[in-house]
Structure 1
């Protein structure tokens, strides 16, 4: 397999950086990755084929391991703060099936559901220790990825670290505020001339800024590469994570009664109150294995076969606070939740180039099988005390223990469920080079769905066969430097049937029926430009998009209907790179306008609640002194900003805004060839700010972290 040079001019020196004089550190030979400072170029994941970013009609942002290391990132959310137009809505709840973190991008909620391009579902948080690159692929990508693991706004794909051909590694220790202790190791070694192994591992423990709450986890990711011959290479990647945490209950505003709050002040007064205890914990264990076979059929054709299996388990106590709509009281609901999610993915891709007359073509043909199986267990829900935010009281404050909660749950009953879905797909994509600087992409997916559309369904949906097209056009006025692009993209989602009640004119229930729905569809059109400047050390992407969702199922009870419509449109600009030696920049701005056009009473005209802030800004810049007495010293500064947004926004309920915020961070560092020391301060001003999605969740206060890194 072809080797490429990873060349970086960054603040933190790691074993994977190339020397500035273009000599190659042996451990830098990582297949398929080109890094110039912050720029990770030419990712094939967006279109499942090798395609230069400048000729790609789709927008994606990347966060590579250089950024993760430089910013002393110890959690997945902090890494994603470097992506234009994305922010977290919900922290991880840990509960079965959907307990992972929720983010918003281009006006729609999403979770990180892909690892190395294959489905991998987690009920907890992802550990950054094994991450090579995070890819945020923008827009409804149903044509190549289907409808089960994408959002209408895009998707998040995690690319893991792979073995390379020489011995190398590093160890890192981070100590910080609120009891943060994190130890990671990365070791790569050849086992013989054709077999190579790499192990990444991490132990993590931290408390929270509130009066209770912690997270403790262990992560290990062994991987191997076997070069059978000059045509065939195998990769096997595994990830195992165990974690135990005690999380503050999510604070839900009442979605069904008029709002009784008009100020964020009440929540600021309770900012450090967790209303839980460290005795009530939840365990999240996950396992993911992937095997890949890359085969070179000929000089023009390659085959990639992928098989994946993931397992995620949940067991423990999950609680939330539910607004009683009286201005202060919240009931704590709690259950001993249990659940297990298994996914299986099999994918076969063929990629080749050929000429049709004088016209060059790059063709992808793929087959895809995906199975999801969710088993739900645990207990039912009980009310366990009333929290009053005005008086800061808790009627069950002395009964937040396992024994007390287990006693209350003894008659809660069991919630046992089982949901399975199978999806069979075929897709084709052709990039036609009409002229040397003009190309068109034509793609189509045929998707056949059987089973239950979501994990919480109680009935099978009708079998559905769906077509999903994608079109793209790229013109390069300056070859390999500047491109102008446009795309049409489609995404879709299969919807669970719903039992509705049939009533007469007086509201009397006459009967009930199971109503089936057609798949929802989202269509995006987008125009923009990409530019590579300063000898490809600096990159700019700007685009305008419009996403329109039709056939949206909305409502509940007697009023579940299909026919809702949502429009999300906006503008994004991303800048990143290393314009001069020693300097690195990453920045982005996004504006999003997302509204319900047609649907359930109370929604039309309102901004959707999962759209997050209209305006988001991210920035991070570093400079490493190149000469003189202060050589190898560096400084970093940056932050994130979000405009005010409505966590609850319904015409018949009311609207509750979460205030805008600006969070600033900074770092000081010293870097030598084999070691680095970084002192990082996050949230310098100790700002109180919130996230939410019909919820109000306090975010982390000021933290100080010290990172010690040694490479060998």
Structure 2
């Protein structure tokens, strides 16, 4: 009997001891409030730990009184360490814990779960240079995810950006030295993609989508955090690349399609040393594609190695590289006359045969590009982190570049071809040091970044001048009459390298090298007055030093600029609905100009303040039904002032009085109403006008870089979840724009490109390790055009087939 009583007493003692131990519970989400499955959660220096469930919930039990550190880790996210205490065996429920994207590589194996709303992922530390949820960020941005690109079988960067609300291609990549990347309109202003992982990453060609994890399009002037070298008044485009992860695996993909498209893509990730947390990933692609026109092609080889090394819980290093070797024919746009009316007023009168390229495959450009980035992250304390960044870019252009321009001298719609031999290179270096803090002053939470930034860009141009090389008419006619000679010539101009080299034999070669550098310091703080109300304030001090052409000192100048940023945000429903307002600033450095009546003596050099752009914006963001409905609705007003114009009271003086206004509203919706169905939709309307200018050609008119007034996009993708059709799916979408001005000057009148709506569709089957799909672009074979003082025919109907294998 006594042994039995002893056993019972021991049992009850254990039960009482266990009852006196506490538990900790909570929820883990990403920065867009999406619950994270399979996050590793454990108590530091103990064996206690769990993984979060499908709703991001976790519970660790049987914790004695004491001080602990909760560690949360997941692939692709920065590890978080949260100190807490258990007192008097009282259970602890922590507020929602947010994990932010990072390059820290973890040794733990994480189970991947079904993520809701695949098209809406907005976990990023790049937009604000802080780990900040989208719903608590006062800036508007669009995110184009890798899942969205895969569902659309996207093979080029221009098609990828069709998914970003309010973005329209002005012209595709020309490959031209210095500015050969594509141009896009955004909130009434032109912009080029010049950021990779938040750092400068230039190209004279087009960006290969094989290494894209997502594309972030930041809306509105963004100079406070990013400066003016890589952004425009409409915003900026940041490409986020794929990064190493813990484990081994990869994917092989092959896409073939109309007009000679063949693309093979490889992605492989492995551990170089699991013990040392050293991981390596490489993405590579080979692409060949012909044109729908009678000539034209592009071929490229791309490789992107990346390395991540976690030294310890405080220190980690990362390396990323993108190397591209590309060759293409440059698209020969029809450039409309910018100073006199053209014979044709629209496409119907132009009689344009858009199947003609007016070039040959013998005249090509090479665009080698290299981008490298090194990052060091060091945890200074529980509240502060140091981030040191170095990026280097080199992009070149070598080969033949031509353009077609209507000088308005010859009869009818006659376009003269001018051609040169390009030999240009652009080099950039950027060094950043950021200190990122998350701390409290009293009861007020502060999330702050303080940064130093040095940027240098040098350009070398050894290209030839341009030579006249015959005329064409849009319907295919040709002649050799030089518009700038009195005689009527009938020379023949063969589209061959030997013919062009002969024409360029007497043309001079440039020998120009230019350089400028920017020194900046910036700070931004998000202050939580309460858990629902926050205020953001930022300021940049920017010193610009322009050496210009190194052979002369006459173009040297420097300027110092302040760029402020403010925002306020309130969440009526925490983490589900926010109302925000922001003030954002951008600027452009202005070179000195000569002023004074030259007949009265030598002119003097006048200096000017930088040109300024200021935006006021209000809107709402939602994250409803457990991340099934994300929406952003906003209205913005941008005013550009201090543009240098001629003084109305004196033609020999210059003043800062030019103004451009751009206002509009945008709606973006990402929805996952039922499992398997993802919807992406966007609509934007923009009103832009030059309100003050000494150039009567553009006064009170819509700027040509503003693009169409109205843009809209939609893509819906559904995958069957069960039954005989499990794994099969369908996709359907459209892109459209209102009419746009190709030319809109007082003396030329208007040349309007018509509106368009393009329908795309896909069908696919997806299993555990492979995916096969068909995609039909421009399903109804719509003939449509884009342009910016140019006429650029777009791709007709095209069919793509893709097969991918994951391992």
TM-score normalised by L of structure 1: 0.93
Q: Structure 1 residues 6 and 572 mapped into 2: Cα distance closer, same or farther (>3 Å)?
A: closer
Q: Is the 8 A contact 2:429 2:457 kept in 1?
A: yes
In the TM superposition, what whole-angstrom CA distance separates every residue of 1:98-141 from its partner, at most 9, and x where no partner exists? 11000010000000000011111110000000111100000100
Q: 1:398 deviation in Å?
A: 5.6
Query: Paired residue for 1:383?
Result: 468
Q: Residue 157 of structure 2 is aligned with which of 76, 88, 92?
A: 76
The alignment's C-alpha RMSD in Å is: 2.7
Query: Paired residue for 1:687?
Result: 782
Q: Is the 8 A contact 2:213 2:242 kept in 1?
A: yes
* C-alpha distance in structure 2 between counterparts of 1:7 and 1:428, whole Å: 24
Query: Paired residue for 1:576?
Result: 670
Q: Residue 635 of structure 2 is aligned with which of 519, 534, 544?
A: 544
Between 1:260-269 and 1:149-158, the stretch displaced more is: 260-269
Q: Does 1:188 align with 2:269?
A: yes
Q: Is the 8 A contact 2:33 2:623 kept in 1?
A: no
Q: 1:43 deviation in Å?
A: 1.9
Query: Paired residue for 1:360?
Result: 445
Q: Residue 256 of structure 1 is aligned with which of 335, 339, 354?
A: 339
Q: Is the 8 A contact 2:344 2:350 kept in 1?
A: no
In the TM superposition, what whole-angstrom CA distance separates every residue of 1:449-480 from its partner, at most 9, and x where no partner exists? 10157999995342111000000000000000
Q: Residue 59 of structure 1 is aligned with which of 140, 151, 167?
A: 140
* C-alpha distance in structure 2 between counterparts of 1:456 and 1:366, whole Å: 34
Q: Structure 1 residues 204 and 559 mapped into 2: Cα distance closer, same or farther (>3 Å)?
A: farther
Query: Paired residue for 1:209?
Result: 292
Q: Residue 151 of structure 1 is aligned with which of 232, 247, 267?
A: 232
Query: Paired residue for 1:295?
Result: 378
1:10-409 correspondence to structure 2 within 5 Å: 29-31=75-77, 32-33=100-101, 36=116, 37-193=118-274, 194-267=277-350, 269-325=352-408, 326-390=411-475, 392-393=477-478, 395=480, 399-409=494-504
Q: Is the 8 A contact 1:459 1:496 kept in 2?
A: no
Between 1:554-563 and 1:59-68, the stretch displaced more is: 554-563
In the TM superposition, what whole-angstrom CA distance separates every residue of 1:412-433 from its partner, at most 9, and x where no partner exists? 1012211111100001111111
Q: 1:574 deviation in Å?
A: 0.2
* C-alpha distance in structure 1 between counterparts of 2:657 and 2:472, whole Å: 39
In the TM superposition, what whole-angstrom CA distance separates every residue of 1:304-334 from its partner, at most 9, and x where no partner exists? 1100100001101111001122431110010
Q: Does 1:553 align with 2:676?
A: no
* C-alpha distance in structure 2 between counterparts of 1:262 and 1:91, whole Å: 23
Q: Residue 590 of structure 2 is aligned with which of 495, 499, 507?
A: 495
Q: Is the 8 A contact 1:4 1:33 kept in 2?
A: no
Between 1:258-267 and 1:582-591, the stretch displaced more is: 258-267
Q: Structure 1 residues 313 and 555 mapped into 2: Cα distance closer, same or farther (>3 Å)?
A: farther
Q: Is the 8 A contact 1:275 1:394 kept in 2?
A: no
Q: Structure 1 residues 397 and 530 mapped into 2: Cα distance closer, same or farther (>3 Å)?
A: farther
* C-alpha distance in structure 2 between counterparts of 1:110 and 1:388, whole Å: 31
Q: Structure 1 residues 65 and 698 mapped into 2: Cα distance closer, same or farther (>3 Å)?
A: same
* C-alpha distance in structure 2 between counterparts of 1:166 and 1:565, whole Å: 55
* C-alpha distance in structure 1 between counterparts of 2:552 and 2:328, whole Å: 28
Q: Structure 1 residues 116 and 555 mapped into 2: Cα distance closer, same or farther (>3 Å)?
A: farther
Between 1:242-251 and 1:74-83, the stretch displaced more is: 242-251
* C-alpha distance in structure 1 between counterparts of 2:549 and 2:742, whole Å: 24
Q: Is the 8 A contact 1:453 1:494 kept in 2?
A: no
Query: Paired residue for 2:625?
Result: 534
Gaps of 5+ in 2: 1-27, 35-50, 57-72, 78-99, 103-114, 481-490
1:586-597 correspondence to structure 2 within 5 Å: 586-597=680-691
Q: Is the 8 A contact 1:270 1:392 kept in 2?
A: no
Report the number of matched residues: 695
Q: 1:4 deviation in Å?
A: 8.2
* C-alpha distance in structure 2 between counterparts of 1:457 and 1:333, whole Å: 29
Q: Does 1:420 align with 2:466?
A: no
* C-alpha distance in structure 1 between counterparts of 2:704 and 2:248, whole Å: 50
* C-alpha distance in structure 1 between counterparts of 2:135 and 2:698, whole Å: 40
* C-alpha distance in structure 1 between counterparts of 2:492 and 2:193, whole Å: 35
SS of the counterpart of 1:67?
Answer: helix
Q: Is the 8 A contact 2:31 2:133 kept in 1?
A: no
SS of the counterpart of 2:503?
Answer: helix
* C-alpha distance in structure 2 between counterparts of 1:109 and 1:576, whole Å: 26
1:426-437 correspondence to structure 2 within 5 Å: 426-437=521-532
* C-alpha distance in structure 2 between counterparts of 1:651 and 1:457, whole Å: 37
Between 1:257-266 and 1:330-339, the stretch displaced more is: 257-266
Q: Structure 1 residues 580 and 267 mapped into 2: Cα distance closer, same or farther (>3 Å)?
A: farther
Q: Structure 1 residues 107 and 6 mapped into 2: Cα distance closer, same or farther (>3 Å)?
A: closer
Between structure 1 and structure 2, the one with the greater Rg is: 2
* C-alpha distance in structure 1 between counterparts of 2:203 and 2:127, whole Å: 22
SS of the counterpart of 1:212?
Answer: coil
* C-alpha distance in structure 1 between counterparts of 2:183 and 2:609, whole Å: 25
Q: Is the 8 A contact 2:32 2:121 kept in 1?
A: no
Q: 1:679 deviation in Å?
A: 0.2
Q: 1:636 deviation in Å?
A: 0.3
Q: 1:302 deviation in Å?
A: 0.9
Q: Residue 604 of structure 1 is aligned with which of 682, 699, 702?
A: 699
SS of the counterpart of 1:411?
Answer: coil
Q: 1:6 deviation in Å?
A: 12
* Bigger relative CO (Cα 8 Å, ≥ 6 apart): 1
Query: Paired residue for 2:8?
Result: none
Q: 1:269 deviation in Å?
A: 2.9
Q: Structure 1 residues 444 and 503 mapped into 2: Cα distance closer, same or farther (>3 Å)?
A: same
Query: Paired residue for 2:3?
Result: none
Q: Is the 8 A contact 1:345 1:370 kept in 2?
A: yes
Q: Does 1:520 align with 2:611?
A: yes
Q: Is the 8 A contact 2:350 2:413 kept in 1?
A: no
Q: 1:558 deviation in Å?
A: 7.6
Q: 1:393 deviation in Å?
A: 2.9
* C-alpha distance in structure 2 between counterparts of 1:28 and 1:318, whole Å: 49
Q: Structure 1 residues 701 and 499 mapped into 2: Cα distance closer, same or farther (>3 Å)?
A: farther
Q: 1:202 deviation in Å?
A: 0.3
SS of the counterpart of 1:610?
Answer: helix
SS of the counterpart of 1:244?
Answer: strand
SS of the counterpart of 1:680?
Answer: strand
* C-alpha distance in structure 2 between counterparts of 1:55 and 1:235, whole Å: 28
Between 1:471-480 and 1:558-567, the stretch displaced more is: 558-567
Between 1:609-618 and 1:624-633, the stretch displaced more is: 624-633
* C-alpha distance in structure 2 between counterparts of 1:183 and 1:367, whole Å: 40
Q: 1:674 deviation in Å?
A: 0.5
Q: 1:510 deviation in Å?
A: 7.5
* C-alpha distance in structure 2 between counterparts of 1:555 and 1:267, whole Å: 36
* C-alpha distance in structure 2 between counterparts of 1:555 and 1:611, whole Å: 24
